[in-house]
Structure 1
Amino acid sequence: MIAPGKTRPSTGTAETSAVDERAHVCVGAIAGAHGIRGEVKVKSFTSDPLDVGAYGPVLTDRGARLVLQPLRVQGQAVVARIEGVADRNAAEALRGRRLYVPREALPATEDEDEFYHADLLGLPVVDGAGELLGTVATIQDFGAGDMIEVAFPGGGSAFLAFTREIVPVVDIAAGRLVAHPPEGWADTGAEESDAPASDETGEVS
């Protein structure tokens, strides 16, 4: 399977992001308040959960700049302080906010099969004959591995499993993906997918 990269992507919400996701990488999401002193629980998408604050100030999906200080890993979340957030109400107001850093702030990937999702968004997807299938609109994980949503030139979209078998070529330098979709894959649009919705910004126990 092709690795998704050093950070996990945002799985998307109905709310439009104020951040250019082609130039930024989502490194985490605030799951809620922790305690009464303004600390928050963060669902980290970095390989080392505490690295969620290692790349400088983060931007929320509403465009706010936050200085994040991770304190410790607790269960599946990182407990962190945010500069200027001093009580539970202020912390709780940030629930659900996705956290981004500029793509250039992140180190290069160490494996040729490892990619940052920001590098894939917007790339054309072609078949083995070079015919355009569409462009990468989103990258989702519904629980069974990464899926790329391919937006068709004429409208609509469908998902492809992001595996070496289905997407054997990911050429960032050339700016394209080569895919071998299964028969009939384009007949079911993304809106009709049976895959369950994924909510990465929900409460983390």
Structure 2
Amino acid sequence: MPAHDSSGPSSPKPRSKPGASNAASPFGAFVRKPPERAVEAGEQPRAVAETESWPDDAVEVGAIVDAYGLKGWVKIAPHAGGAQGGEALIHAKCWWLAKGRERKAGQTIQAKVHGDSVVAHLAGLADRDDALALRGFRVFVRRADFPVLDNDDEFYWVDLVGLDVVNEAGEALGRVADLIDNGAHSVLRVEYPSVGKDGQPVNGERLIPFVGVYVKTVDRTAKRIVVDWQTDY
């Protein structure tokens, strides 16, 4: 899920989906294969249960699509694919689950990549029926629980959405609405106010490759990205 600000970045193909109204935007793809995580010795994980609390920095990272095996494991489709997008799922010890008006929270006993999916055993799930009862729940983790990135030129997509984009002349180009992966690198989808043929206000769109030749600086504190891009491109 990190995007790379470099001249030759690589990023797997994420499946971008809208986040919940009480969560931040979904994120894109990871570049590192996540390790397996198991509960630490002496740790007492919290079983999945109804909850009214919801973290302010919750980010939707996948959805439970099926049971896995017979012992209470669930199968999750990460929004960015298993080996690339499962790291937040595996790294976070606590998951928040949402389906319609239902809200649950619980901790993982064990989680690992399985093909293009992530499989996990959540505390309190004893058998396949327990796991099947969670099918269709969307999975959220706290942004604070994302793994720390190794390099300053890596960014989680969720941190780029909403940033203002200006060119080197200081001209406003719009705001990052989403990111796209084209197989070679990430692309900023920048929206800006425009006028349609009927004279009505519409959102215009610019697609700016997220590579070093175009992206000059990313300042998350100032909430701004500076690019080498003209207003008439």
TM-score bracket for the superposition, by shorter chain length: 0.5 to 0.7
Residue 33 (structure 2) aligns with: none
In 2, the alpha carbon distance for the partners of 1:178 and 1:68 equals 40
In 2, the alpha carbon distance for the partners of 1:88 and 1:18 equals 31
State how many pairs are aligned.
182
- Please, which runs of 5 or more residues in structure 2 have no aligned partner? 26-56, 195-201
Equivalent position to 2:73, from 39, 46, 49: 39
In 2, the alpha carbon distance for the partners of 1:107 and 1:50 equals 7
- Please, which runs of 5 or more residues in structure 1 have no aligned partner? 186-205
Query: Map of 1:45-124 to 2, 5 A cutoff?
Result: 49=86, 52-60=89-97, 62=99, 64-88=104-128, 90-92=130-132, 94-95=134-135, 97-124=137-164
Is 2:57 the counterpart of 1:20?
no
In 2, the alpha carbon distance for the partners of 1:142 and 1:91 equals 35
Amino acid at match of 2:193: P
Q: Kindly tell me: are residues 111 and 92 of structure 1, through their superposed partners in 2, closer, same or farther at Cα, counting changes over 3 Å?
A: same
In 2, the alpha carbon distance for the partners of 1:115 and 1:74 equals 25
Query: Does the CA contact (< 8 Å) of 1:19 and 1:60 recur in 2?
Result: no
In 1, the alpha carbon distance for the partners of 2:20 and 2:162 equals 16
**TM-score under structure 2 normalisation?**
0.60
Q: CA deviation at 1:89?
A: 5.1
Residue 221 (structure 2) aligns with: 173
In 2, the alpha carbon distance for the partners of 1:56 and 1:110 equals 21
Query: Does the CA contact (< 8 Å) of 2:107 and 2:122 recur in 1?
Result: yes
Is 2:203 the counterpart of 1:156?
yes
Q: CA deviation at 1:176?
A: 0.3
In 2, the alpha carbon distance for the partners of 1:182 and 1:30 equals 43
Q: CA deviation at 1:175?
A: 1.6
Residue 49 (structure 2) aligns with: none
In 2, the alpha carbon distance for the partners of 1:116 and 1:142 equals 17
Q: Kindly tell me: are residues 102 and 77 of structure 1, through their superposed partners in 2, closer, same or farther at Cα, counting changes over 3 Å?
A: same
**TM-score under structure 1 normalisation?**
0.67
Amino acid at match of 2:225: L
In 2, the alpha carbon distance for the partners of 1:143 and 1:58 equals 30
Identity %: 33
Equivalent position to 1:136, from 176, 180, 198: 176
Q: Deviations over 1:44-64 (max 9, x none)?
A: 568695662332312235554
Tell me which protein shows more strand as a share of its residues: 2
Larger Rg: 2
